[in-house]
Structure 1
Amino acid sequence: MRLNKFIADAGVCSRRKADEMIKEGRVTVNKQEAVIGMEVSSGDVVRVDGEKVKINTNYEYYMLNKPKRVICSSEDKFGRKLAIDYIKSKKRLYTYGRLDYMTEGLIIISNDGDIYNHVMHPSKKLYKSYIAKLDKDITDDHLEALKHGVVIDGRRTAPAKVKIVSKREIRIAIFEGRNRQIRKMLETLGYEIKSLKRVKVGELTLGSLEVGHYRPLTEDEIKYLKNL
């Protein structure tokens, strides 16, 4: 088995991220520094950042309604609360489809590394829907601008799907995953976001799940993600 697939199957990260970690010298096989493209077998000892990893035989899949001021990462040097801390599990879990520090809502948490490519890879064009509350009424012109794409960080965004919830609240769906994208799109048009919440990822919906609570994904939801 290719080393990057082994690391992904162990739930550590995606294959692409595994290759980055190998390049950075963070992966060893049988105490020797790993190289891109190498093969490993069941008898090999693979370590990432010094920690032994092995392929999971049992995967876990959860949906969390992430609160504000929570980090979507495996660790934080400032000691801030992590999304994975909310899940009661003995598995080493990871978040898929990140939300920024001040955004709340639906986040997928699992130890199945292949989920990364299904949820986050741009080629999937998987729409994520958010509810944004603004500091002032949104204009028709700006709604149209969002639908056609606006320029942030020197590059135009892909068209968004936008619906008005009220004069100062919109539902917006995007499939790109650029850093703080929705916040930047609205700030470019002159709005301050009072709150931002993700309510849907593809066909997975947050529903009535309360902030700070989580639930296992259903069999149908897991099958849906794997078939994307």
Structure 2
Amino acid sequence: MEEKQLTRINKYLSEVGYCSRRAADKLIEQGRVTVNGEVPEMGTKVGPDDEIRVNGRLITEPEDAPVYLAFNKPVGIVCTTDTRVEKDNIIDFINYPKRIFPIGRLDKPSEGLIFLTNDGDIVNKILRARNNHEKEYIVQVNKPVTKEFIRRMRSGIPILGTVTRKCFAEQTGRNEFRIILTQGLNRQIRRMCEYLDYRVTKLKRVRIMNIPLDVEVGKWRHLTPKEVHEIQNMVSDSTKTHQ
């Protein structure tokens, strides 16, 4: 087996969702973990062919283990799970071996961060976590940004039969601004700009909640157990279903 396929045992136990790395270290110190029937040393690396047990119980990655991905969506990819309708859909593009679906949307002309998962409960909680579900964007428009434009964007714009929530916005370039939303109205930023007679030329989502965009365009990564735990804490006031 090649070295690159091996993972430290504490990291392995964390990644399969058994416990944190720190807790795994304690279990190893206490001799409660075995690898192929032997008590391992701290820092021992394991691979897919190794038999790992804790207190005699075989540890495997369950088939239905929750998947949480952070994906940098390119322009032109559609956030739909209907692979029959859209050939440039997000599911075929990522081609993940388990069934996953996006949390929320990012329209076809936009790029940047989007989550995908197979955990329906966290989807519901995130979409209902109004104040904790911050989404940050860098937006370029077709003409110079003014102080009045920023003031109006911050204070709320009438679109889709409502007024957008007050939000953070700041100018970051001659024709560029940064905005943080806690809403998910359809094509919200584009509609807000259009109301003020601006046209979006580039829209990039650079953060969702506690997760920054840190992968290249068209690439994805798994959220770490720590990141997932932080998200769970942030949406802990949201129930799984409507009462």
Q: CA deviation at 1:56?
A: 6.4
Instruction: Identify the residue that residue 158 of structure 1 maps to in structure 2.
Output: 165
> Once the two structures are superposed, what CA deviation does each residue of 1:33-76 show, in whole Å capped at 9, x if it has no partner?
xxxxxxxxxxxxxxxxxxxxxx9631111110001111111115
1:124 positional shift: 4.5
Of 84, 88, 95 in structure 1, the residue corresponding to residue 102 of structure 2 is 95
| 1:226 is the counterpart of 2:209 | no
Question: What are the within-5 Å matches in structure 2 for residues 31-180 of structure 1?
Answer: 57-121=64-128, 123-180=130-187
> 2: distance between equivalents of 1:149 and 1:56?
45
- Post-superposition Cα deviations, 1:149-203, rounded to whole Å, max 9, x if no partner, equal 0111232100121121101011111101110001000111011111101000011
The equivalent position to 1:214 in structure 2, one of 220, 234, 239, is: 220
Q: Report % sequence identity.
A: 34
TM-score by length of 2: 0.67
Contact 1:132 / 1:171 at 8 angstroms: preserved in 2? Answer: yes
1:196 aligns with: 203
Q: How far apart, CA to CA, are the structure 2 residues paired with 1:81 and 1:197?
A: 19
Query: Aligned in 2, Cα 1:193/1:123: closer, same or farther, shift over 3 Å?
Result: closer
Alpha-carbon distance between aligned partners in 1 of 2:220 and 2:130, rounded to the nearest angstrom? 28
SS of structure 1 residue aligned to 2:76: coil
* Structure 2 residue aligned with 1:184: 191
Task: Check conservation: 1:125, 1:176, Cα contact below 8 A.
Answer: no
Q: Distance in 2 between matches of 1:102 and 1:79?
A: 14
Structure 1 residue identity aligned to 2:187: R
Change (3 A) 1:56 1:151: farther
Q: Number of matched residues?
A: 173
Larger radius of gyration: 2
Aligned letter for 2:229?
K
Q: For residues 222 and 190 of structure 1, do their structure 2 counterparts lie closer, same or farther at Cα, with a shift above 3 Å needed?
A: same
TM-score by length of 1: 0.71
Residue 88 of structure 1: how far off its partner (Å): 4.3
| Equivalent residue number for residue 37 of structure 1 | none
1:130 match: secondary structure? strand
For the Cα contact (< 8 Å) 1:122–1:176, is it kept in 2? no
Q: What SS is found at the alignment partner of 1:227?
A: helix
Superposed CA RMSD: 1.7
Q: Residue 130 of structure 1 contacts residue 197 of structure 1 at CA under 8 Å; is this kept in 2? A: yes
Give the aligned residue type for 2:93: Y
